[in-house]
């Protein structure tokens, strides 16, 4: 498992140079919920070791970092990508809920990178993006592929494959309309 220990002295450097997104667990030894969540996060980090790094910040060793990120309750988890905080949560959550949250963030990151490489961007409305990402992940669970939530799946894998996001129709729709049909990607 990729895990690093962060302190006030190394936090900014380690987060900014990380080769993968960093899931930061703010905790303390005296915090029972922190220990429970820590075990869950370690298990998830092992499963996602190709995609993320788990970092642990003991608040007793990082009071300045805690202050900077307004950590006023623990356990507190923040997902960083490229040195920037993207999302987080407070408290213990069940493993499946954390995995779902993580999958959504990683998919958004993947689509942001895809859009950037292809000269467009994700819809700036985060609510729209989050709703569509939930639909994509639900289709992946249901059908085994991330079919565009706005297109009808007929059950024929050969015909349906052109509806896998980013779908075959998306470049033409962006050029013509300024966005793809579901509005995940925009000019």
Helix 95-117 to helix 32-47 angle, to the nearest 10 degrees?
Answer: 50
**Residues forming a β-bridge with 55:** 4, 24
Catalytic (active-site) positions = 31, 34
Provide the sign of the torsion angle of the four alpha carbons 159, 186, 110, 114, taken in this order: positive
As given in the structure block, the two tokens for residue 26 are 């703010």
Contacts 24+ apart (CB under 8 A), 90-96: 91/33, 91/37, 92/33, 92/36, 92/37, 92/40, 93/37, 93/40, 94/40, 95/40, 95/43, 95/44
Report the C-alpha gap between 131 and 10 in whole angstroms: 36
- Residue with the two structure tokens 């040195």: 83
């Amino acid at each position: 498992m990729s895990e690093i220990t962060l302190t006030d002295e190394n936090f900014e450097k380690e987060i900014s140079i990380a080769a993968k997104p960093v899931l930061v667990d703010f905790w303390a030894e005296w915090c029972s919920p922190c220990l429970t969540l820590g075990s869950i996060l370690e298990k998830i980090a092992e499963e996602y070791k190709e995609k993320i790094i788990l970092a642990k910040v003991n608040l007793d060793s990082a009071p300045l970092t805690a202050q900077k990120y307004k950590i006023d309750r623990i356990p507190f988890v923040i997902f960083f990508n490229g040195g920037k905080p993207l999302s987080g949560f407070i408290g213990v959550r069940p493993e499946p809920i954390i995995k779902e949250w993580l999958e959504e963030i990683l998919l958004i990151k993947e689509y942001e990178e895809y859009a950037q490489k292809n000269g467009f961007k994700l819809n700036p409305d985060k609510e729209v993006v989050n709703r569509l990402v939930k639909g994509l992940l639900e289709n992946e669970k249901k059908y085994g592929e991330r079919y565009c939530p706005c297109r009808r799946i007929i059950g024929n894998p050969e015909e349906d494959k052109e509806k896998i996001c980013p779908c075959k129709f998306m470049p033409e729709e962006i050029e013509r309309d300024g966005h793809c049909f579901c509005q995940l990607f925009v000019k």
